[in-house]
Structure 1
Amino acid sequence: MTPLNFVAARLNLPHKELEKTIGLLSEGATIPFIARYRKEVTGNLDEVEIDNIDKLLKTYHELEKRKATILKAIEEQNALSDSLKKQIENASDLVQLEDLYLPYKKKRKTKADAARELGLEPLAKILMAQNSGKAEEAAARFVKGEVKNTYEALEGAKNIIAEWINENQVVRHKLRQLYARTAEITSKVVKSKEKTTEAQKFSQYFDWSESVKKIPSHRFLAIHRAQEEGLVRIKVDVDKQKAHQIISEIILKRNGYSSVISEAIEDAYKRLLKPSFSTEFLNEAKLKADEEAITVFASNLEQLLMAPPLGSKRILALDPGFKSGCKLVCLDENGKLLHNTNIYPHPPQNKSAEAVQTIKSLTEKYKIGAISIGNGTASRETEQLVKSISFEKDVPVFVVNEAGASVYSASKVAREEFPDDDITVRGAVSIGRRLSDPLAELVKIDPKAIGVGQYQHEVDQGKLKEKLDTVVMLCVNRIGVNINTASKELLSYVSGVGPTIASNIIDYRNKNSGIGNRKELLKIPRLGPKVFEQSAGFLRIKTGDNVLDATGVHPESYDIVKKMAQTNNLKISELAGNKEVLQKLQLSAYVSAEAGLPTLKDIVKELEKPGLDPRSEISQFEFDPSVKTFQDLREGMKLPGLVNNITNFGCFVDIGIKESGLIHISKLANAYVSDVNSVVKLNQEVMVTIISLDEERKRIQLSLID
């Protein structure tokens, strides 16, 4: 089986484009580069489609690696027939492959192995042939040595037959179909833990049963967590009679020894098949739940990373607090720290007048263009204080989500950036930078610490990291990176770059007072032609002498733009931004073997608004000023809020207090909703109605339905 055949069988895509895309990926081209600059080659496949191809290629190579291991293991046992070898080579998934390997897999000594050592395999073959005769008479010939009687002989033979039934390919295939259709997952409370506080959080799963194929990912992960904490026991099972019937129809011939074979069938199912399939389907359910949860997390992360930036403005940032005061920092247009201090406007110090004067004077001194306030403790009180100040000019005030700021402030990245400042300063800087450019700041933080996931600590951590890294990479390259101001972390996610070359870029720009044009990239150590091809279009130079260096136009297409400009008697700098001329271009005149219409349309789009950030513009938002704590809430109240987390079962909304409220999926719209993201997005402004309050557990139920 070739990689092309494997991928093509799972994706409904044209073979020609699929083969070329696989070729590009195999040569080391990145997903952003292929999606952006090789549209003619791929048939205009988007990032998601190319990512799916990439994942299937990895699955294919893992499968082939496993096949090689299995073939070698069976060959070493001198048991590899031509027929078995062909079956293994043609296996299309791991389940099928492992079933083929099962009879040859090295395992602990089994009951069947012990019976074989007693010389009972010939008896098992006689019984399995199911010709007429009495079992005791057949067994009597094998009563010798350590086999004391016919009972022991038959028990040993049944153990061998049970193992044969367990390894029977048809039996396993038919039973797997039964489990796929009808398996139920059940959970029972561990009685000794039933009254504990930890267990009460999972009380609804103390006696729970649900179809494995229908259970939502969030519910499975909750039950799985409860089992991991030793609070419940879970299992997967099907109707025993149906399972026995399936096996009997395959194994029983109805001629002879049927009672012995029936007992072996019952033993095979109870002792071998049932535990095997229970584990297999639990693992499959976990895998499916992980995939769904990771997809939700990835979608949330993408929306968060693509949140609107304020842009290059001087920012005064406040990390609010009561007893310890508010940490205040002033940042320049590039996020560089200019000043830091503490103010104490809230109880117990109550130095509000002094705090107001400090904020006002620093705003004027450092020509502050906006104020950023973290949404943690004392956020609403700090926001109210700042908005009461009469500045000389209008200074917009924003409340930003500070989730993960404390993680950044204690990180190695933050210590390297601010070696002489403590964690409170670093945390406030992060709050300010999140306003100017959320993406540039959030790439420095482990995505799991950002607080937009669904059971992210329960899922496969390797797959989670791989998916989230892909999301970050796609977002970074979709926006583009200012090579002269970007951090090492941000540069590392640029197509083809990575941490080592990112460090080399920073060293080079520091030694040479910046990078003046894209050609200069080739002077950077280890940034050779291949890396240049992959990265150049995503690395932007805002202050260079070539306007194209600030756009997403790849250097390989500069000659096309030059030809467009010359055709219209213009310089390239005069063509860029000239929408009237660009819209009149006859693109067919510029089509070549290297650049077709998709690429030409992308070039024109970039030239119409050179260097434009694809993210939307930021807007100010105000919570209800009368609501500051849970005690201010009442059922029936309508409040403005911001969606701050999305799950499969609904979304959470920040309404301006410590606790977020939940809009269950059933309360998102008057119509049936299957996908929460089809109704709301992260950071979306919504008007919600409080439908219930649980003060003891601090739970708020909200609705978008009037």
Structure 2
Amino acid sequence: MQLLNYIKSQTNLPENGIKNTIELLNEDCTIPFISRYRKERTGNLDEVQLGDIVKYKTQFEELAKRKTTILKALKEQGVLTDELHQKIETTSNLTSLEDIYLPYKKKRKTKAETARKNGLEPLAKMIMSQRVNNLEYTASKYINNEIKNRDLALEGARFIIAEWVNERTDIRNIIRYQLEKFATLTTKAIKLKIAEEKAQKFRDYFNWTEPLNRCPSHRFLAILRAEKEGFIRVKIEIDNEKAIDKIEQRIIRIHTNCSKQIQLAIQDAYKRLLFPALSNEILTKAKHKADDNAIEVFAKNLKQLLLGAPLGEKNILAIDPGYRTGCKLVCLNSQGGFEYNETIYPHAPKNDSIGAMKKINSLVDAYKIEAIAIGNGTASRETEQLIRKIKFKKDIQVFVVSEAGASIYSASKVARDEFPNYDVTVRGAISIGRRLADPLAELVKIDAKSIGVGQYQHDVDQTKLKKSLDVVVESCVNTVGVNINTASIPLLSYVSGIGFKLAENIVNYRNQHGPFIARNEIKKVPRLGNKAFEQSAGFLRIKNANNPLDNSAVHPESYNVVSKIAKDNNTSIEDLIGNKQLLQNIELNKYCTSTIGLPTLIDLIKELEKPGLDPREMAKAFTFNQNIRSINDLREGQLLPGIVNNITNFGCFVDIGIKESGLVHVSNLANKFVSDVNEIVNLHEQVIVKVLEVDIVRKRIQLSMNFK
């Protein structure tokens, strides 16, 4: 099977779009670049469709690599026939391929191999023929120094038959079907461990039974974690008699002495070989599926978080709150530049609230502060209440900002390189303030796994998780665009075609030569060649450039088209930009060429109407219920404002201003069936929730959004 046909069979996408996308990928083009600037070649495929092509291209290449390895091994063994070669070449999935290879795979010492060395394979073949009249007499012919009697001869023959049964693809598929359709996941608590405090969060699964194919990903991963931590044992069960009977129906034709031996061999094959291997296979498959679901949830959450509403270019006072160690204050200018830091002690044990309020008020005046960002960790609510008591000379917006991952950033090399003369507490406060100004620019500095959105991110395949999250970050960065003159190295590294080394080179060049004044100047950066420029230029912004298109998503390769449109309409590029009435009346067909079609021209017009427009909404201030300070203040029936701070397959978690977040189960999200939580809520969305139940002992809060 060829790559093109394989991807087409998996995606049902247009053949020409797949073919051209493969060519572009082989030319080292990135998904954001292809999606945005090569719509004519792909047939206007979006990033998700392009991602599917990349996924199945990788799968095909891995399959092809495995086929090459297997064919080489079979050739070396001298067993590669034309028929076998054809069978391998036409196989389209890895499981079937491994089944074909199984009989030829080099094995460690097995019972069947020992029996063969003892000369029992002919006896096994005769038994399988089911035509031996006097089996005991026939078996006695195989007695030797190693095989002392007929029973041992028959046992050895059965070991060989069991291996043959195990290696039959049709039989393996029968058991796979039974497992896929009817397997039950069963858990049993380990009595010596369940009394431990850590075990209590898994107590729902101490003795649990559920059809495997109906077990949702979050529950499956929770069960596996409980097993990993030693609190439960997990096993897979099916109707063994039914499974064995289906194998016998495939093999046994008539009932003779031979058939009895075959029955025993089948039972041995099932118990010792087939079921252990295939139940592990189905568990692995279920784990992969659960991983994929969890990673998909994490990716959706991360995308929403990264594209969260920025406050924009404002002077910000950021506070990392605390009790004994005080509250760390930093002042940031409108570009996110660090201006000043200090520590105040408004809370216990010092309780210098008056001095703290005076200090904050003076800093607001001195640094022309327009907004205050407060971390949502320890002492957050108390600090917010303190701030709201201060009578500022002007309106100051107050925001509570998620600290998730801030400690990871503050101790990282990136933070040390940015602020080598300040400790982790100051760096953490700076990160909180910058998150308010531009979540995307700040969060890309943190390992995405540490941001804390999603479910069981540490239990899933870490390589697959990182790959998926990197794609999300790259997509978000390129969707928004990057100011090349202010962007950090981590942010620049996610721009299409750049990468970490080129990002370092860009920042070093900027530090040596000053701000970039034109996109073409980017080509002067060491090691940034034509290909990297082609891939990145459309996503890099230069404010106040001589050419206004340099601060837009218009790619330099389309500048001539824009110039021609302006000339044909007797206007300048500057006057063309933002002239919605003129732009909407342009006859686009006359500007189509062999490389630029209507999709690109439509994008051009949209961009010229609002060049460089940030697709994100602006941040809005939010106030929690000031009377709710701990879980003990909650009562059933209360209506409370909150912010969605995590989304899972089974519901969403809402921050209501206390240490514990409450769960809105998927069944309580709306007055209808909800298949996708993301259809109802978004991360960091401001919502009103109703308190359904409070479990103070287990620190669990049940909420509802379905109360109107």
Equivalent-residue separation in structure 1 for 2:523 and 2:480 (angstroms):
22
The amino acid of 1:697's aligned partner reads R
Distance (whole Å) between structure 2 residues aligned to residue 373 and residue 135 of structure 1: 85
Q: Deviations over 1:344-365 (max 9, x none)?
A: 1112211111111111111111
8 Å contact from structure 1 (residues 644, 682) kept in 2? yes
- Give the Cα–Cα distance (whole angstroms) in 2 for the partners of residues 116 and 449 of structure 1: 55
How many Å separate the matches in 2 of 1:134 and 1:362? 102
**Corresponding residue for 2:694?**
693
- Paired residues of 1:374 and 1:400 also in contact (CA < 8 A): yes
Deviations 1:221-241 (A, max 9, x none): 011111111221212232112
SS of residue paired to 2:342: strand
- AA in 1 matched with 2:244: H
1:290 and 2:287 aligned: no
Q: Which residue of 2 aligns with 1:128?
A: 128
Q: In the TM superposition, what is the alpha-carbon distance from 1:197 to its structure 2 partner?
A: 2.4
Distance in 1, matches of 2:424 and 2:499, equals: 27
What is the SS of the residue equivalent to 1:472?
helix
Whole-Å separation in 2 of the counterparts to 1:326 and 1:255: 84
Partner Cα separation in structure 2 for residue 203 and residue 625 of structure 1: 34
Q: State the TM-score, normalizing by the size of structure 2.
A: 0.99
The alpha-carbon deviation at position 5 of structure 1 amounts to: 1.1
**Structure 1 position 299, deviation (Å):** 0.3
Match of 1:93 in 2: 93
Aligned to 2:311: 310
Structure 1 residues without counterparts, runs of 5 or longer: none
Following the alignment from structure 2 to structure 1, what is the Cα–Cα distance between the partners of residues 345 and 410? 21
Matched residue SS, 1:213? helix
State the 1:135 CA deviation. Answer: 2.2
In the alignment, is the contact (CA less than 8 A) between 1:132 and 1:255 conserved in 2?
no
Corresponding residue for 1:8?
8
Matched letter for residue 641 of structure 1: G
- SS in structure 2 at match of 1:552: coil
Aligned to 1:59: 59
Work out the CA distance in 1 between the residues paired with 2:637 and 2:339. Answer: 46
Supply the distance in 2 between the matched residues of 1:190 and 1:125 (Cα, whole angstroms).
46
Alignment-derived partner of residue 229 in structure 1: 229
Which 4+ residue blocks in structure 1 deviate beyond 4 angstroms? none
Give the whole-Å Cα distance in 2 for the aligned partners of 1:696 and 1:199.
15
Q: How many angstroms apart in 2 are the aligned matches of 1:394 and 1:201?
A: 45
Matched, 1:258 2:259: yes
2:548 aligned residue:
547
One-letter amino acid of the structure 1 residue matched with residue 186 of structure 2: T
Residue type at the aligned position of 2:640: L
**What CA distance in whole angstroms lies between the structure 2 residues aligned with 1:380 and 1:330?**
20
Letter in 2 for 1:354: G
What are the within-5 Å matches in structure 2 for residues 587-606 of structure 1?
587-606=588-607
* Deviation string, structure 1 residues 623-646 (Cα, Å, up to 9, x no partner): 111112112211110000000000
Q: Take 1:425 and 1:123, find their aligned partners in 2: how far apart are those partners?
A: 80
Question: What is the identity, as a one-letter code, of the residue corresponding to 1:219?
Answer: R
Q: Report the AA paired with residue 647 of structure 2.
A: I
Map 1:189-200 → 2, pairs under 5 A: 189-200=189-200
Which amino acid is 1:454 matched to?
Q
Query: What letter matches 1:153 in structure 2?
Result: A
Tell me which residue corresponds to 1:510: 511
For 2:629 and 2:251, the matched residues in 1 are separated by 70
TM-fit CA distance, 1:530: 0.7
The answer for the alignment partner of 2:242 in structure 1 is 242
Which deviations, in whole Å up to 9, do the C-alpha atoms of 1:384-415 show, x marking residues without a partner? Answer: 11122122221111111111111111111101
Map of 1:76 onto structure 2: 76
For residues 96-124 of structure 1, what are the alpha-carbon distances to aligned partners after superposition, in whole Å with 9 as ceiling and x for unaligned? 01101111112210000110111100100
The residue type paired with residue 114 of structure 1 is T
Code of the residue aligned with 2:431 in structure 1: it is S
How far residue 192 of structure 1 moved from its aligned partner, in angstroms, is 2.7
- Show the counterpart of 2:373: 372
CA distance in 2, matches of 1:317, 1:551: 31
Q: Equivalent residue for 2:392?
A: 391
User: What SS does the aligned partner of 1:614 have?
Assistant: coil
2:427 is matched with 426
Letter in 2 for 1:353: I
The aligned amino acid for 1:8 is K
| Residue of structure 2 equivalent to 1:414 | 415
Q: Which residue number in structure 1 is paired with residue 154 of structure 2?
A: 154
How has the CA–CA distance of structure 1 residues 376 and 52 changed in structure 2, closer, same or farther, with 3 Å as cutoff?
Answer: same
2:213 alignment partner, SS class: coil
Structure 1 window deviating more from structure 2 (167-176 vs 569-578): it is: 167-176
Equivalent residue, structure 2, for 1:180: 180
Match of 1:131, as an amino acid?
R
Map of 1:645 onto structure 2: 646
Quick one: which amino acid aligns to residue 40 of structure 1? E
Q: CA deviation at 1:205?
A: 1.6
C-alpha distance in 2, partners of 1:199/1:115?
48
The equivalent of 2:358 in structure 1 is 357
Indicate if the aligned counterparts of 1:536 and 1:554 stay in contact, CA closer than 8 A. yes
Matches of 1:547 and 1:390, distance apart in 2: 43
What are the ranges of 5 or more consecutive residues in structure 2 without an aligned counterpart?
none
SS of residue paired to 1:592 = coil
CA contact (8 A) 2:312 2:618 kept: no
Give CA-to-partner distance per residue, 1:303-322, whole Å, 9 cap, x none: 00000111111111000111
Q: Does the Cα contact within 8 Å between 1:372 and 1:432 map onto a contact in 2? A: yes
1:174-225 alpha-carbon deviations (Å, 9 max, x no partner) = 2222222212221112233233323332222222222222110001001111
Structure 2 counterpart of 1:571: 572
Secondary structure, in 3 states, of the residue corresponding to 1:653?
A: strand
Deviation at 1:459, TM superposition (A): 0.2
Contact 1:688 1:702 survives alignment (8 Å): yes
Assess if the C-alpha contact under 8 Å between 1:120 and 1:153 holds in 2. yes
Conservation of the 8 A alpha-carbon contact between 1:434 and 1:442: yes
Tell me if 1:139 matches 2:139: yes
What is the root-mean-square deviation of aligned Cα atoms in Å?
A: 1.0
C-alpha distance in structure 2 between counterparts of 1:342 and 1:381, whole Å:
16
Map of 2:661 onto structure 1: 660
Query: Which amino acid in the other structure matches residue 117 of structure 1?
Result: K
Q: 2:166: which partner in 1? A: 166
Contact 2:126 2:132 in 1 (8 A): no
Distance between the aligned counterparts of 1:435 and 1:288, measured in 2?
Answer: 36
- Per-residue CA deviations over 1:228-279 (Å, capped at 9, x if unaligned) read 1122121223211221121111111215311111111111101000001111
Distance, in Å, in 2 between the alignment partners of 1:211 and 1:71 is: 39
Partner of 2:381, secondary structure, is helix
CA contact (8 A) 1:369 1:395 kept: yes
Aligned match of 1:702: 703
Rounded Cα–Cα distance in structure 1 between residues aligned with 2:510 and 2:565 = 32
Identity of aligned residues (%): 57
Equivalent-residue separation in structure 2 for 1:9 and 1:698 (angstroms): 49
Counterpart residue number, 1:632: 633
Mapped contact 1:373–1:399 kept (Cα < 8 A)? yes
C-alpha distance in 1 between matches for 2:200 and 2:261: 48
- 1:556 corresponds in structure 2 to 557
Give, in whole Å, the separation in 2 of the partners of 1:469 and 1:619. Answer: 28
What SS does structure 2 have at the residue aligned with 1:202? helix
Amino acid across the alignment from 1:7: I
Local SS of the residue matching 1:691: strand
Q: Is the 8 A contact 2:651 2:666 kept in 1?
A: yes
Equivalent position of 2:28 in the other structure: 28
- Give the secondary-structure state (helix, strand or coil) at the position aligned to 2:336: coil
State whether residues 35 and 50 of structure 2, in contact with CA within 8 Å, keep that contact through their aligned partners in structure 1.
yes
TM-score by length of 1: 0.99
Aligned-partner Cα distance in 2 for 1:172–1:130? 22
Correspondence for 1:339: 340
Q: Which amino acid aligns with 1:103?
A: P
1:601-648 Cα offsets, whole Å, 9 max, x none, are 111111111111111121111111111211221111000000000000
Deviation at 1:169, TM superposition (A): 1.4
Q: What's the counterpart of residue 672 of structure 1? A: 673
CA distance in 2, matches of 1:469, 1:253: 56
Which residue of structure 2 aligns with residue 465 of structure 1? 466
Q: CA deviation at 1:680?
A: 0.7
Does 2:586 correspond to 1:585?
Answer: yes
Paired residue type of 1:349 = K
CA offset at residue 132 of structure 1? 4.1
